[in-house]
Structure 1
Amino acid sequence: MNEHEDEFVLMDYLNVIWKRKWLIVIPTFFLVIAVGIISFLLPPKWEIDAIITP
């Protein structure tokens, strides 16, 4: 395989990814939203108090 054929294979993969970008973007978006909501709803595990004196 020469370099020219490799370039076409890479472009084929990139074209497929670009055509199916919504199959990547939409689940990622909903996953980020779900994790954000869950992280705010969970009770904190650790708490620390500090006093800073001059």
Structure 2
Amino acid sequence: MSAKINERFGYVSHAEEKSDAPAINSGPCGPFVNEFYKAWNARFKNRVKIAFVMQN
């Protein structure tokens, strides 16, 4: 699953790291969460609910 996620969202370079890191780990994760939400709810009876916690 992680390979497919990284294929879809790509990688980003960070100055402090020697290799590229998955873009999904760099935020914002909203586009991934939206796709997960739609895919899960299309497949399963127990629907998932997503909430974001944000600070000022």
Shorter-normalised TM range: 0.3 to 0.5
- Identify which of structures 1 and 2 has the higher relative contact order when contacts are C-alpha pairs closer than 8 Å and 6+ apart: 2
| Higher share in helix | 1
For the pair shown, the structure with the greater C-alpha radius of gyration is 1
Q: TM-score, normalised by structure 2?
A: 0.33
